[in-house]
C-alpha cells in the first residue's frame, strides 16, 4: 500500500498487487493474475437452406459492426446438418447511464449495468431477413447459459455450497 487516505489504505491497482506477490523460482519470475470479461452468450439459429452465402449475408447484417446490426453481436454462418447455422456470440455491454445505446430497444439489462441482446431478438431478426427470401428458421440453440440463467446458477451454487453445480446442466438446448 503506497499511501493512506484517512485510515483507508489505497493500492495502485491489480498490477502493483501482483508485482508484490511475484515470486522467483529457478531464476524465473512467477506471476499470477486474475481477470474477467463481460459475460458472452452463444445463440445459434439454423435456417432451412443450404446456401451458405445467404447465411453469411444474414450474419453480416446482424453484426454489431454493421449499421443497423444488433449491439454486442458477433456472427458467422456455416453448413450444419444439411442446413445453414448462423452462430452468434452475444457480448455483454457495460453501459454508462447516459449511453445512447440504452435507447436501443433490442437491449435487455442482464444484471447490474450489463446489457445483452436476448435470443428471441436474434431469432426474430434472422427469421425476418431469411423470410424476405422465402427461407424459414428451423430452430435456435443456446449453448451454455443466458445471462439470467448464469446469474441464477451462480447464486444457487454459492448459496448452497455446490461449487460444481453448473456441471450438472445441459450445454445446448433448443428454444
Where exactly are the structural domains of the chain? 1-35, 40-174
Q: Would you tell me how many other CB atoms lie within 10 Å of the CB of residue 81?
A: 8
Alpha carbons within 13 A on the beta-carbon side of 80: 18
Looking at residue 114, its pLDDT comes to 82
CATH architecture of 40-174: 2-Layer Sandwich (3.30)
**Mean of pLDDT values over 147-153:** 79
**Mean of pLDDT values over 144-169:** 76
159's grid cell? 448459496
pLDDT digits (tens, 9 = 90+) for 9-64: 434 444 455 455 555 566 666 666 666 777 888 999 999 999 999 999 999 999 99
Binning pLDDT at 50, 70 and 90, where does residue 150 land? confident
In this structure, are strands 8-10 and 93-94 parallel, antiparallel, or unpaired? unpaired
Amino acid at each position: 500500500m503506497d499511501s493512506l487516505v484517512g485510515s483507508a489504505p489505497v493500492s495502485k491497482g491489480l498490477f502493483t498487487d501482483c508485482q508484490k506477490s511475484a515470486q522467483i523460482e529457478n531464476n524465473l519470475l512467477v506471476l499470477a493474475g486474475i481477470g474477467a470479461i463481460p459475460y458472452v452468450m452463444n445463440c445459434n439459429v439454423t435456417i432451412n437452406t443450404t446456401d451458405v452465402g445467404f447465411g453469411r449475408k444474414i450474419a453480416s447484417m446482424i453484426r454489431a459492426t454493421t449499421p443497423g446490426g444488433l449491439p454486442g453481436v458477433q456472427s458467422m454462418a456455416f453448413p450444419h446438418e444439411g442446413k445453414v447455422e448462423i452462430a452468434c456470440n452475444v457480448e455483454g455491454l457495460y453501459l454508462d447511464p447516459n449511453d445512447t445505446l440504452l435507447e436501443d430497444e433490442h437491449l435487455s439489462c442482464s444484471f447490474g449495468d450489463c446489457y445483452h441482446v436476448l435470443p428471441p431478438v436474434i431469432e426474430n431478426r434472422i427469421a425476418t431477413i431469411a423470410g424476405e427470401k422465402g427461407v424459414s428458421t428451423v430452430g435456435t440453440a443456446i449453448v451454455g447459459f443466458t445471462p439470467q440463467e448464469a446469474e441464477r446458477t451462480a447464486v444457487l451454487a454459492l448459496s448452497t455450497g455446490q461449487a460444481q453445480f453448473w456441471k450438472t446442466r445441459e450445454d445446448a438446448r433448443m428454444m
